[in-house]
Amino acid sequence: MRCAHVGETGKIIMARKRSTIRLVAVALTVGVCLLASCAEEGPPPFVPENVSPELEPLYSMIHESRQDYEKGVQMIVAGEVIPGENVLTAASDRISVAAELCSRTPGCDAALFIEALAQVFEEQRGMLDALADDVETYAADLAGYGDAAEMPLIETIPEIDRSISIMEGADLRELIPLNREVESALNDWLTWSRPTLMGAYENYQFLREKIAPVYEEAGLPEALLFAIMAKETGGKVHAYSRAGAAGPLQFMHHTARRYGLGSIDGFDMRLDPEAATRANVAFLRDQLGAFNYDLEKTLAAYNVGETRLRRMHRKHPGAKFWDTQIYYSLPTETRTYVPQVLAAALLFLHPEEYNLAFPVLETNSSAIVLDEELSLGELTVCLGQQGNPKGWFRTLRNLNPRLSPADRIPAGETIEMPSTLVAVYAEQCVRDSPWIETARRLHDAAYPNKPEIDSYTVRPGDTLAGVASRHRCWSMHKLAAVNGLAGPGYIIHVGQRLAVPQCG
C-alpha cells in the first residue's frame, strides 16, 4: 500500500539526512501514513478481516494508541513538549498492555508486531524530546526535497527499528545478544580459533578496499561482512567445500547462478571477491525481508539454506532463532555457525573489550608490470617474508583471483601486489636475481609437464571418477573443480563437454 501524502510531522523529520534521523523518519512516516491518510481508504491494515470478538478490543487498542501517538508527535513539534511527552508515554504504555494481553489470547499472532512498534515509539519518544528545540532546522532542510509522495516509505512494520539499524550499518552490539551461545563462540575465537581469526583479519584487510564499499553502499555493517568471511573461509578467495560451495563467501552453484555468479571466459565468478560480495548482499537483503529482519534467521538461512528456514518460519510464526522450536530443529553446524558469526562481528567492532588487538597493516595494493615471466608461486618465493612472517602467497592469490599458481604469467602482463612489496619485487624478482633461479626450479618440480587442455564428451555409463581415471594426471576433485561440478555426487550428463588434460 502506498500513501499519497504524509503529515507535516513526517515531512519535517524525514528531510534529515543523518542516520539517526532516518530511524525517526521512517517510523514516523509509517505511523502518519496509517493514521492520517491511509485511514481514509479503510480500516487500519494491521486489523485482520473477520477478527474474532475477543481479539477485536486488542486491535482497537493498538489503533487508538497509534492515534494518540500521532497526536503527541504533533504536539511536540508544535512546541507543546511536556503535554506531548505525556501523550506519548500513555500511548507506549497502552501498547505494552496490548502486547501482554495478546500473548495471553489464543489466536493472537501479533506479538512481534506490537513489541517492535513499542520499541519504535520508545526510541522516538526520547529522540523527539531531544530534537524538539530544533524544529526550525528540520523545516529548513525541506527546501528542494520535492513532493512528499517521493519520500521513502517502509511498508513492513514488524521490528522496524531492528531493520533500520541493520540497513543503516548501526553498531551490531545492539542487535547481538550476549547469551551463552554467543559468549561460548567468543571464547572459541579468542582461544583455539584465534590464529584463524587473525589470519582472516589479515586476508580481509587486503580485500577490504574492494569489498567493504559494497556493504557500505547497501547500508549493511562492515563487521557482518568480515564475520561471515571469517567463519566461511578465513578470507581465502579460492576456497572450495566438499559440498561444492566456492569462493570467499562460499556460494553453491544453484544459489550463485540466481545471484549472477556464473562463469565468464571459464572463470568461476564465485571466486571474484567483489562480485561474490554483491551476491552476498543481495542474498542477505532477500532473507532479511523474508524473515522479518531477524538477523539470526538470515544467517542460519545462509548456512543451511533458505528453503528450510522459510518452512520453519512459516510453521512457527513469531518464533525467533533462539526459541527452542527453531533453534533445536536446526543442524548442529547451523546452531554453531550463527553465534560464531555474531561473535566474530563483535570482535571486529570491539576487540579492546576482549583483550584482543588486531594488527595494523599497510594494505594498499599497486598494479605492476612483470619484467619476467613468473607464476604467483615463483613471486612468493622471491619476495620472501618481507613484512609478513607467513609469506605472501595467500595475499597474491586473493588480489589476483583469476590467476592459477601453476601458470606462469607472461612478461609485460599486469598483476596486483601489496604496495609495500613493489620495491622488494624490483630488487629480488628481476632477471639475474639468485632467487629467480631457485623459484623457477621449485616451480618446475611442483608442476612438471603441464598437460594441454582438451575436451571430452560424456558418454552413457560415464562417471566423473571414470573420466578422471582415464586422464590420470588429474584427480576427480580437480576435474570437478575445473569443470565447476558440485559434490558430493559430481553428477555429469550424457553429451556434456568436460575440460580434461591431454595425458596418457
Looking only at Cα atoms, what is the longest distance across the chain? 90
Q: Are strands 263-264 and 267-268 parallel, antiparallel or unpaired?
A: antiparallel
More confident: 8 or 363: 363
Instruction: Give the position of cell 531477524.
Output: 294
Give the span between the Cα atoms of 166 and 116, in whole angstroms.
Answer: 14
Q: Which of 281, 282, 287, 285 minimizes the C-alpha distance to 304? A: 287
Dihedral-angle region of residue 449 (phi above 0 means left; psi in -120 to 50 means alpha; beta otherwise): left
What confidence tens digit (pLDDT) does each residue in 129-175 have? 444 434 333 333 334 334 333 333 233 333 434 444 444 444 677 78
Which residues are registered as beta bridge partners of 415? 368
Q: Which of 69, 94, 72 minimizes the C-alpha distance to 83? A: 72
Burial bucket for residue 78 (CB in 10 Å: 0-12, 13-18, 19+): middle
Give the span between the Cα atoms of 160 and 155, in whole angstroms.
Answer: 9
Chain length of the chain = 504
Look up residue 476 and give its three cell numbers: 576427480
pLDDT at 200 over 50: yes
Domains, the chain, ranges and CATH? 8-168 (no CATH), 180-354 (1.10.530.10), 365-446 (no CATH), 453-501 (3.10.350.10)
pLDDT at 180 over 90: yes
Look up residue 276 and give its three cell numbers: 561474490
Q: Given this model, what pLDDT does residue 72 score?
A: 73
The confidence band for 228, taking pLDDT boundaries of 50, 70 and 90, is: very high
Give the span between the Cα atoms of 283 and 275, in whole angstroms.
Answer: 12
Which residues are registered as beta bridge partners of 374? 409
What confidence tens digit (pLDDT) does each residue in 378-408 have? 999 999 998 899 999 999 999 999 998 889 9
Three-class SS state of 456: strand
Give the span between the Cα atoms of 53 and 437, in whole angstroms.
Answer: 87
Q: How many C-beta atoms surround the C-beta of residue 104 within 10 A? A: 7
Average pLDDT over residues 22-44: 36
Q: Given this model, what pLDDT does residue 151 score?
A: 31
H helices within 18-55, ranges in order? 19-32
The mean pLDDT of the chain is: 77
Q: What angle do CA 354, 360, 366 make, to 5 degrees?
A: 145
Yes or no: say if 429 and 370 are a contact pair by the CB < 8 Å rule: no
Give the span between the Cα atoms of 411 and 413, in whole angstroms.
Answer: 6
Q: What is the DSSP letter of 352?
A: G
Three-class SS state of 53: coil
More confident: 105 or 363: 363
Number of H helices, E strands in the chain: 22, 6
Average pLDDT over residues 302-319: 92
Average pLDDT over residues 318-338: 94
The confidence band for 446, taking pLDDT boundaries of 50, 70 and 90, is: confident
Average pLDDT over residues 268-277: 95
**What are the phi and psi torsion angles at 19 (to 5°)?**
-65, -35
More confident: 232 or 40: 232
pLDDT winner (highest mean) among 56-65, 79-88, 183-192:
183-192
Give the span between the Cα atoms of 132 and 85, in whole angstroms.
Answer: 11
Give the span between the Cα atoms of 462 and 254, in whole angstroms.
Answer: 23
What confidence tens digit (pLDDT) does each residue in 104-140 have? 666 665 544 454 455 445 445 444 444 443 433 333 3
The confidence band for 1, taking pLDDT boundaries of 50, 70 and 90, is: very low
Give the span between the Cα atoms of 18 and 131, in whole angstroms.
Answer: 13
